Amino acid sequence: MSPAKPLSVAVVAILAAVVFFASSCGGSSSTTSTPTPAAAIKPEPVVEAVDAETSGMLDKYYAILDITVKNKGADGTVILVASITQGAQTLENEFPIYITHNAKQVVRLVFPLKWKGGDWTPNVRTQVP
């Protein structure tokens, strides 16, 4: 036997071992599953009250909304979306707040209006980004 023969047998054996271990080291055909993360917990805002009043006169007339919000969910940011409808015109404003779990917060929003007589209607809703 020539000295090259044992060397080539050793090389073949090493290559076979590398291929065997590489294929048994969990490739993309692995059957293990990764656990799915729990659903993210978000704030659950509830508008408990909207106190509306007016102030001023003529060109300096304002609708003032005091909005009470309670968060029944996790701590987080909530967007208050408030609007005032007067006749055929609607003014809308958004205001982000950070509110903790079970906390109540009162937010005041002021809308400039032009006196047109008649009633105006406030509307408030919340969004969770």
Residue 37 has pLDDT above 60, yes or no: no
- Neighbour tally for 97: CB within 10 Å: 17
**Amino acid, res. 126:** T
pLDDT, the chain, mean: 79
Query: What does the domain layout of the chain look like in residue ranges?
Result: 45-127
Query: Quick check: 63 and 111 in contact, CB under 8 A?
Result: yes
Give the integer Cα–Cα distance in Å for 52 and 59: 19
Query: Quick check: 77 and 97 in contact, CB under 8 A?
Result: yes
Question: Which of these, 82, 70, 127, lies nearest to 109 by C-alpha position?
Answer: 82
Give the integer Cα–Cα distance in Å for 104 and 68: 7
Q: What is the torsion angle, in degrees rounded to the nearest 10, for the CA atoms of residue 79, residue 111, residue 109 and residue 55?
A: -160
Residues 43-87 have pLDDT tens digits of: 999 999 999 999 988 778 899 999 999 999 999 999 999 999 988
- Assessment of whether the complete model's pTM goes beyond 0.75: no
Give the integer Cα–Cα distance in Å for 24 and 34: 19
Topology at the third CATH level for domain 45-127: Immunoglobulin-like (2.60.40)
Give the integer Cα–Cα distance in Å for 86 and 61: 13
